[in-house]
């Protein structure tokens, strides 16, 4: 091997090891989907959009099955860390490969870690304090919840501690990370099953009665919601049902996450398709069943009015996400507290997972000389890119700092929509385009060919459906600015490496070392 080739990559081994089993990969996927967050998002946004949630599931389920099939194929074909980046940069164009993959980094790390630093409080800590105050008849706890809710600096301070603590968890090594994940994610699954069980078991009249008791504590009532003159979106409208597609996509878009740790997964060719498509089916079932039963239990019209009043700031109670509603409906303090506590744990797990995956992406870019070499350093004992993990954690803190200023749950959800809109273009559409251009398998090409118009249509919906929240000047600015900055980073890195005597183009003619 020539000296030039030896020096193309940062080094001849990534330093990572294959330690993730199939179960670990699925838990990892679910952690980044943010199961409870996504379930709350779907069940609270669907009533604002309207439409039939079961019929509305068909399009995103088919669309993401095709996209998931494409990602399963490339991660099996190129079982490396950030497999989609490796595939696109070697088969379509290096800049598109980087921007496509780094779009996921931006959405997952600074955007969603920052958002999570907010939502940990807005539908974790604050509802928990409210419930405890209600069940123990302790106004001071409710006063504390209100104080935190009304002061963005308190939310930022608490969120910063959470991001630092959990963002550093991956530094302890894969064994420690997987041990925590194996406890929290099964607990999250159990909790969502219990929540759905409460929806199915508690009849409408009883649920309404329990909610009325809770609202009375805030000098409000169910009657005030029922009598409000709010226009409810149609349930049986085809257009409204189609508009549910981007609502479901907030959760389904992250089923591809195991692609980014393909270099650490055992038996990747078998594990990747099962983890991606298995997560898709499970998440689709949970989101749709939770929403349908919500309508059965509370009534579609009442649910829509309740949430519209909350978004408008005209509801004195905490934001009525599913954990709060079902905790109240159960009439059981232990369940209400459990739902709130596990919601917090799931969001904390997301912070650790986002920092974990962010570090692997930075490692991949460093191996290809796009970002500083120091981000590619891997601890020999724990097989962890420590500096890249620290950088990911800091990126999450920066996201929190920026997004806490307009601190409301609605704003946080708007930003989550912007993050998903970025993912629909980079990497999802870009990967499908690369597969369509380079693969010979008719099945894979067909899946890519059909997924591209679906992804572009969904992206269009994010820009035009008001209830989704990305159709704003802020949303457009974040999306456009992210893409421009990422292209600039790539070409600046190319210029710098050329001046250092490194053949930047030669890097992308080879698969990076394992």
CB distance 168 to 389 below 8 Å: yes
Rounded alpha-carbon distances, angstroms, from residue 50 to 128, 240, 245, 285, 400: 29, 5, 11, 19, 31
Neighbours of 237 (CB within 10 A): 14
Give the contacts of 384 (CB within 8 A, at least 6 positions apart): 170, 171, 172, 173, 174, 359, 378
In a domain, 208, yes or no: yes
Q: Which two tokens stand for residue 246?
A: 């981007």
Q: Quote the CA–CA distance of 177 and 184 in Å, as a whole number.
A: 11
Residue 49 lies in a domain: yes
Q: Residue 513 domain-assigned? A: no
List the chain pLDDT tens, one digit each, 514 residues. 344 444 566 666 677 888 999 999 999 999 999 999 999 999 999 999 999 999 999 999 999 999 999 999 999 899 999 999 999 999 999 999 999 899 999 989 998 999 899 889 987 899 899 889 988 989 899 899 989 988 888 999 999 999 999 999 999 999 999 999 999 999 999 999 999 999 999 999 999 999 999 999 889 999 999 999 999 999 999 999 999 999 999 899 999 999 999 999 999 989 999 999 999 999 999 999 999 999 999 999 999 999 999 989 899 998 899 999 999 999 999 999 999 999 999 999 999 999 999 999 999 999 999 999 999 999 988 889 999 999 999 999 998 887 776 544 445 556 667 778 888 888 899 999 999 999 999 999 999 999 999 999 999 998 887 767 666 777 788 788 889 999 999 999 999 999 988 888 888 988 887 7
Contact 361, 260 (CB under 8 A): yes
Nearest 10 degrees: CA dihedral of 134, 137, 138, 142?
20
> Per residue in 53-87, pLDDT tens?
999 999 999 999 999 999 999 998 999 999 999 99
Report if residue 514 sits inside a domain.
Answer: no
Task: Tally the domains of the chain.
Answer: 1
Domain that holds residue 290: 22-506
Q: What is the DSSP letter of 319?
A: P
* Residue 115 is assigned to a structural domain of this protein: yes
Which SS3 state, helix, strand or coil, does residue 304 take? helix
pLDDT in tens, 122-159: 878 998 998 899 889 898 998 999 899 888 889 999 99
Cβ count near 505 (within 10 Å): 12
* Residues in the chain, overall count: 514
Q: How far apart are CA 260 and CA 75, in angstroms?
A: 9
Nearest residue to 330 (alpha-carbon basis) of 192, 191, 206: 206
Residue 159 lies in a domain: yes
**Is 9 part of a structural domain of the chain?**
no
**What's the rounded Cα separation, in Å, for the pair 388 and 393?**
9
Can you give the CATH number for the domain in which 468 is found? Answer: 1.20.1740.10
Q: Would you state the structure tokens that stand for residue 232, as one six-digit string?
A: 């409810």
In a domain, 320, yes or no: yes
CB atoms under 10 Å from CB of 173, counted, come to: 16
Instruction: Please tell me the pTM assigned to this model.
Output: 0.92
Each as own residue / partner, the long-range contacts of residues 226-229 (CB below 8 Å, 24 or more positions apart, any chain) are 226/302, 226/305, 228/305, 228/309
């Amino acid at each position: 091997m020539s000296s030039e080739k030896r020096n193309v990559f940062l080094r001849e081994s990534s330093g990572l090891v294959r330690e993730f089993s199939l179960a670990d990969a699925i838990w990892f996927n679910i952690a980044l989907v943010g199961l409870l967050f996504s379930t709350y998002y779907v069940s609270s946004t669907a009533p604002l959009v309207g439409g039939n949630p079961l019929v509305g599931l068909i399009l995103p389920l088919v669309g993401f099955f095709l996209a998931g099939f494409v990602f399963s194929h490339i991660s099996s074909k190129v079982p490396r860390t950030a497999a989609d980046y490796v595939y696109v940069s070697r088969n379509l164009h290096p800049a598109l490969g980087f921007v496509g993959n780094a779009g996921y980094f931006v959405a997952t790390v600074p955007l969603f870690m920052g958002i999570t630093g907010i939502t940990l409080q807005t539908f974790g800590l604050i509802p928990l304090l409210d419930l405890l105050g209600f069940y123990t008849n302790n106004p001071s706890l409710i006063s504390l919840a209100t104080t935190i809710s009304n002061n963005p600096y308190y939310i930022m301070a608490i969120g910063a501690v959470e991001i630092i603590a959990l963002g550093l968890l991956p530094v302890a090594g894969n064994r420690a990370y997987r041990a925590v994940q194996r406890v929290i994610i099964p607990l999250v699954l159990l909790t969502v099953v219990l929540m759905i069980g409460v929806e199915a078991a508690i009849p409408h009249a009883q649920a309404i009665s329990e909610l009325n008791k809770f609202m009375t504590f805030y000098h409000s009532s169910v009657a005030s919601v029922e009598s409000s003159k709010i226009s409810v979106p149609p349930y049986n409208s085809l257009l409204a049902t189609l508009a549910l597609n981007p609502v479901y996509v907030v959760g389904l878009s992250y089923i591809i996450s195991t692609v980014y740790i393909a270099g650490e997964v055992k038996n990747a060719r078998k594990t990747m398709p099962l983890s991606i498509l298995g997560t898709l089916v499970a998440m689709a079932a949970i989101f749709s069943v939770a929403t349908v039963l919500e309508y059965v239990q509370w009534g579609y019209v009442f649910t829509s009015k309740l949430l519209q009043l909350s978004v408008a700031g005209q509801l004195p109670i905490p934001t009525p996400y599913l954990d709060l509603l079902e905790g109240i409906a159960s009439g059981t303090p232990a369940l209400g507290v459990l739902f709130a506590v596990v919601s917090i744990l799931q969001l904390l797990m997301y912070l650790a997972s986002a920092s974990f995956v962010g570090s692997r992406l930075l490692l991949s870019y460093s191996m290809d000389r796009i970002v500083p070499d120091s981000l590619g350093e891997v601890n020999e004992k724990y097989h962890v890119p420590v500096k890249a993990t620290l950088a990911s954690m800091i990126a999450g803190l920066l996201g929190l700092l920026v997004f806490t200023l307009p601190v409301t749950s609605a704003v946080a959800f708007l930003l989550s929509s912007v993050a998903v809109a970025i993912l629909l273009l980079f990497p999802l559409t870009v990967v499908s385009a690369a597969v369509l251009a380079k693969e010979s398998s008719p099945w894979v090409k067909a899946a890519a060919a059909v997924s591209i118009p679906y992804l572009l249509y969904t992206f269009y919906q994010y820009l035009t459906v008001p209830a989704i929240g990305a159709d704003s000047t802020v949303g457009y600015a974040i999306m456009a600015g992210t893409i421009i900055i990422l292209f600039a980073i790539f070409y600046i890195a190319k210029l710098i490496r050329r001046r250092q005597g490194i053949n930047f183009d030669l890097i992308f003619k080879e698969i990076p070392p394992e």
